[in-house]
Amino acid sequence: QVQLVESGGGLVQPGGSLRLSCAASGFIFGSYVMKWYRQAPGKERRLVATITSDGGRKNYADSVKGRFTISRDNAENTVYLQMNSLKPEDTAVYYCNTYYSGINYWGKGTLVTVSS
């Protein structure tokens, strides 16, 4: 069965950096697009970044362009989100996502809090 497990969240000061990881299992990771979403309190879940199966193409929400970088290591079945120059507005639960065999899969999420 498909499993996605996020890690790396925590408390960080504005301007700081954090790297999130998502460990995947239960499917051929290297054949699928992976995405990061985030959900702030009281708001809907929003797409943050997308990466193609081979890592050759990446897309970002306008709000994080130039600050966040998505990457993946298919040998380790892991997708990453490097977050730099963090702002309080980045505070949210971050979720790893993939669409596999007609089902949208999500991890449990990891909380990122940007505050001084």
The pair of three-digit structure tokens given for residue 73, joined into one six-digit string: 């290591």
Rg of the chain, C-alpha, whole Å: 13
Contact 4, 94 (CB under 8 A): no
**Segment 25-48, tens digit of pLDDT:** 999 999 999 999 999 999 999 999
Query: In the prediction, which pLDDT does 47 show?
Result: 98
Residue 48 and residue 50: Cα distance in Å, rounded? Answer: 7
**99: confidence class by pLDDT, cuts 50, 70, 90:** very high
Closest CA to 13 of 82, 113, 111: 113
